[in-house]
Amino acid sequence: VLGIRSLAGTDSGTVIILLVGALALMFLLEIFVVGVYRTVMLRMFLEGRCYEKVPAQRLWFLLRVKKWCHVGIARFVTGILSLLWGLTLVGGIIKAYSYYLVPYILAENPGMDRREAFAISKRMMMGQKWNVFVLDLSFIGWRLLEGITFGIAGVFYVEPYYQATIAELYTFNRNMAYQQGYIR
């Protein structure tokens, strides 16, 4: 702290530097730990569709295949693009649904180039954005229950139910995209 104070010159400058550093650390943790962990959980939901049991060591899948940073950067870019598109109300909603399946694509194909994942998600969501929006609206009651129970229902029921539903949506859209030749 004394070194930072000597660089900043004042106590208020030191506080600002420490706050910016803490925010940068939180940002990096959100991207490379929480965001990537969410992608791993999506993969576990996708595997749970096919297998009766998914072993707990699957949590380390992205580390084992050395794609942790790759997925983190792709999720970061997705967030930045969604934020920028979010500056326009209609464009933000449309693009959020265009990029909706990127985390699932990366969960299934962690080595895929992020631009390709964006392009595939856009193609898979063509003509599906309204349906997915309505699907999201159908979860309003569940989200209210989650709020009423201070998140407890979300941890034990709502979020797993929602993620399993979206995993099914992804699988359906992926199969339709293969049949229609959108993806190979």
- Region 44-72: what's the mean pLDDT? 83
Residue 139: what pLDDT?
95
Residue 55: what pLDDT?
83
Residue 7: what pLDDT?
66
The rounded distance, in Å, linking the Cα atoms of 182 and 179 is 8
- For residue 124, count other CB atoms closer than 10 A to its CB: 27
- Region 77-99: what's the mean pLDDT? 82
Residue 85: what pLDDT?
82
Instruction: Give every CB contact of residue 120 below 8 A, 6+ residues apart in sequence.
Output: 101, 105, 112, 177, 182, 183
- Region 35-61: what's the mean pLDDT? 84
pLDDT band at 20 (very low <50, low <70, confident <90, very high): confident
Residue 166: what pLDDT?
92
- Region 48-56: what's the mean pLDDT? 84
At 137-163, the pLDDT tens digits run 999 999 999 999 999 999 899 999 999
At 100-132, the pLDDT tens digits run 999 999 988 888 888 898 899 999 998 889 999
The rounded distance, in Å, linking the Cα atoms of 39 and 114 is 14
pLDDT score of 34 more than 80: yes
User: pLDDT higher for 129 or 10?
Assistant: 129
The rounded distance, in Å, linking the Cα atoms of 134 and 132 is 5
